[in-house]
Amino acid sequence: MSTERVNPPELSPPTGFSHVVVAAGSRVVFLAGQTALDPDGKITGGTLPEQFERALTNLLTALRAAGGTPADLARVTVYATDVAAYRDQVRELGRIWRKSAGRDYPAMAVVEVVRLWDEQALVELDGFAVLP
């Protein structure tokens, strides 16, 4: 995939995301929402960082199964049950992201939700990628 990340100087400097991702490729991969579910279908981790790491690992596992890499991600949406807690822990969450997915940030948004499908889940990630 060919991606160009654009961050117009007229917008505030992005931290941990890109304002625009222009992607050219032949396959679009849509990634279903991933929470901190383990292979047995149980939520793991009691803290937001623990659940974020597992949810991101699950998202990247799904992406790799389709032949993609983290650099192919064009868009990721984070659904959090507590955006204030997310903001308070954003440095740790950013460290987890960089360790797992690198610094080629997709276009991103964080959305607060009342709850997720799995009641114990604190965070869910979905997105799409463009592959060559």
Give the separation between CA 29 and CA 32, rounded to whole angstroms. Answer: 10
Q: How far apart (Å, rounded) are the C-alpha atoms in residues 51 and 132?
A: 31
Supply the CATH number for residue 94's domain: 3.30.1330.40
pTM of the model: 0.87
**Full domain range(s) for residue 28:** 2-131
Length of the chain: 132
Dihedral, 117, 119, 122, 126 alpha carbons, nearest 10: -10
- The number of folded domains in the chain is 1
pLDDT over threshold 80, residue 75: yes
Q: Which of 15-24, 25-34, 100-109, 112-121 has the lowest mean pLDDT?
A: 15-24
CA angle in degrees (0–180, nearest 5) for 50-126-83: 55
